[in-house]
Every structure is written in structure tokens, then in C-alpha cells.
Amino acid sequence: MTSQNHPCEILSDIYSIRDRKADFDKLVYTFVGENSNILHSWIEASEILGFRLNHVSLPEYEADDAGKNYSFFTDISDVISETDVLLTDPLTEKYRNEEYYSKYQITLKILQKGKNDLLFNPCPPFYRGEEVSNDAIGSACFVGYSFKKNLLYVQQAIMAYVSEIT
């Protein structure tokens, strides 16, 4: 993990998504949040694997040179109905305020506008009442805890691969 990338987290998420949806590379992913290391890793994954990645945030957070699979929006209502996997990242202090939450906090009401089989996966640590609401964490589409169970195994597989252990 660096300030620019978070590859193990994203590889683990993709592994977990593929476990539930074999056509993971045909899905529409939507990331809500700042231009962060998590977003950069999702952009890189979208370019390598070919899936569509929507980014929803304030205009100043649009990613530069993000590639052909990346689209930017300022309103989640524009993309939630077509989203298969909804992603977030914790907010920096600057955006922990009601003005931001009123536009970008993921709530049960937003999730209910999504597909019936929507997967909601906020990146830990996520903060209830900030980037996600309590009712969103309690929803049927929340997969955050179950996805993170695979993180250790994916990291071990990466270590085995780079160490040439089979």
C-alpha cells in the first residue's frame, strides 16, 4: 500500500467479487469518494480487466488520465441503477461534514435504487454516519466483512507467487 495504490485490497475484493459473480469483468463498478489510492487501484484494475468504472464525487476529485473505462459523475443518482458493485473509501477530515454527506453518503435509500443483486463494499476502515450510514451497513447488499475475510488468503497467495512457492 502506498499513497497512490492499494493493490492487495483491490485484488482481494476482485477475488471475492469473482467468487459471487463469475462475470466480474463485465460488471459496472461505482466508486464514491475522493481521488485516493483505492480509486487509483480500481482505475488500474479496470484498465487491465476491462470493466467499466464510474467515479462519483465533487468535481475537483475527477481523476486525470484515468483511461477509457473510467467515467466521472457528481451525482450518484446518475449511475446507481446500473451499478453492480458499489465501493467507498474513508473521507479525509476536510469532507467530514453535512454538506458532503447530504450528497455522497451511502444510505439504504440509495442502495434501494440499485440492482437487486448489488454488492456494497466500503473499504475499511469505514465510518458509520460518515461515508456510510448505519442502515447501509445493515443492508442485505453489504459485503464488507465477508470480503475482508479473503484478504489474508489473497496476500498469502501473492507472497507465495512472488516467492515462487507453489
Note the pLDDT of residue 99.
84
Buried b (16+ CB within 10 A) or exposed e, 76-112: beebbeebbbbbbbbbeeebeeeebbeebbbebebbe
CB contact at 8 A, 124 and 79: no
Note the pLDDT of residue 142.
96
* pTM of the complete model beyond 0.85: yes
Note the pLDDT of residue 9.
92
The residue among 147, 109, 129, 126 whose CA lies nearest residue 20 is 147
Note the pLDDT of residue 1.
61
Note the pLDDT of residue 94.
82
Distance from C-alpha of 47 to C-alpha of 80, rounded to nearest angstrom: 21
Note the pLDDT of residue 90.
82
Q: Which DSSP category does 21 fall into?
A: -
Structure-block grid coordinates of residue 39? 480509486
Buried b (16+ CB within 10 A) or exposed e, 120-156: bbbbeebeeebbbbeebbebebbbbeebbebbeebee
**CATH number of the 7-162 domain:** 3.40.50.1370
Structure-block grid coordinates of residue 15? 477475488
Residue 70 corresponds to which amino acid? Y
Distance from C-alpha of 144 to C-alpha of 157, rounded to nearest angstrom: 21
pLDDT in tens, the chain (166 residues): 666 777 899 999 999 999 999 999 999 999 999 999 999 999 999 999 999 999 999 999 999 978 899 999 999 999 999 999 999 988 788 878 888 888 999 999 999 999 999 999 998 888 788 889 999 999 999 998 888 889 899 999 999 999 986 5
